[in-house]
């Protein structure tokens, strides 16, 4: 008998993957957590039946949410990840030699436990001595740590449930205040095909708080529509002005100096979303 896992990506569209084996399922205090092994994408983490990451395509998302911002900063030392309990963003962050401390704040400790057990190639850096893992509310942590971080990555789930508060102007203002004087923040900001009202709201909120706002793109096959947006707020440094000839080799599979430059080239239909 064929077993399938399905995500209702919109009310009118779903993505389904044939399952080899169900590895884990539980109701945490926050959400339904599942890990399954699939034929197409390998092991897959789902929260409330929404695909969060897979071993086949996670590198695209985690490299782009991390390296575009970190390579824009001259010498990032302290980095915060809000969410991201699978550990993929942390794995990429500590590839940067200048980083002295990377802090992960994940509200649901069960996600961290499942990632360590079933997704070791993603969570492999969570025990690194430069990494601090906190099971806590990221919104509260940001509010309580002003002028602390050189970069903040908001590696959140979709803007529903526990993550809803991570997509508002009040939170972005707290992020701004938690950054050092030339700090940068990057957030995943959903699909330009299916979130056409959310993206301009986020972008305009960020642009009203930070001197510089930028939207960039990557292709993540298991996310709705495949094309995914990230929004950056920067106090000083412009990612499109980075000298890509000086970027370090970070042993990446998707991100590269050329991708750093071209990910900011937006198709006209995406440009329309952020025109004022």
Chain-centroid distance, C-alpha 261: 19
Of 155, 158, 174, 205, catalytic: 155
* Residue 137 annotated to the active site: no
Tell me the C-alpha distance between 76 and 234, whole Å. Answer: 13
End-to-end CA distance of the chain: 53
User: Are the C-beta atoms of 269 and 192 separated by less than 8 Å?
Assistant: yes
CA distances from 241 to 21, 191, 259 (A): 47, 26, 13
Closest by Cα among 196, 247, 262 to 70: 247
Question: Cα–Cα distance between 79 and 72 in angstroms, integer?
Answer: 13
Q: Could you give the count of Cα atoms lying within 13 Å of 271 in the half-sphere of its Cβ? A: 5
Active-site residues, by number, are 155
């Amino acid at each position: 008998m064929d077993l399938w896992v399905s995500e209702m990506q919109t009310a009118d569209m779903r993505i389904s993957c044939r399952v080899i084996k169900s590895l884990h399922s539980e109701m945490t205090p926050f959400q339904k957590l599942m890990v399954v092994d699939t034929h197409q994408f390998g092991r897959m983490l789902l929260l409330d039946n929404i695909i969060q990451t897979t071993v086949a395509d996670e590198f695209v998302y985690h490299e782009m949410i991390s390296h575009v911002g970190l390579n824009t900063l001259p010498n990032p030392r302290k980095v915060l990840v809000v969410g991201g309990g699978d550990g993929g963003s942390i794995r990429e962050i500590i590839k940067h030699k200048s980083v002295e401390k990377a802090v992960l704040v994940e509200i649901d400790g069960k996600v961290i436990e499942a990632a360590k057990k079933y997704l070791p190639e993603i969570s492999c850096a969570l025990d690194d001595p430069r990494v601090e893992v906190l099971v806590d509310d990221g919104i509260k942590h940001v509010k309580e740590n002003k002028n602390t971080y050189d970069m903040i990555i908001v590696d959140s789930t979709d803007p529903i449930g526990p993550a809803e508060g991570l997509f508002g102007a009040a939170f972005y203002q707290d992020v701004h205040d938690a950054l050092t004087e030339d700090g940068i923040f990057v957030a995943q900001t959903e699909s330009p095909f299916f979130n056409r009202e959310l993206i301009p709201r986020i972008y305009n909120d960020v642009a009203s708080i930070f001197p510089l706002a930028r939207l960039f793109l990557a292709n993540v096959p298991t996310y709705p529509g495949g094309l995914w947006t990230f929004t950056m707020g920067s106090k000083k440094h412009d990612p499109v002005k980075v000298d890509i000839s000086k970027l370090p080799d970070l042993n990446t599979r998707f991100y590269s100096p050329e991708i750093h430059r071209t990910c900011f080239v937006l198709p006209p239909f995406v440009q329309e979303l952020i025109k004022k």
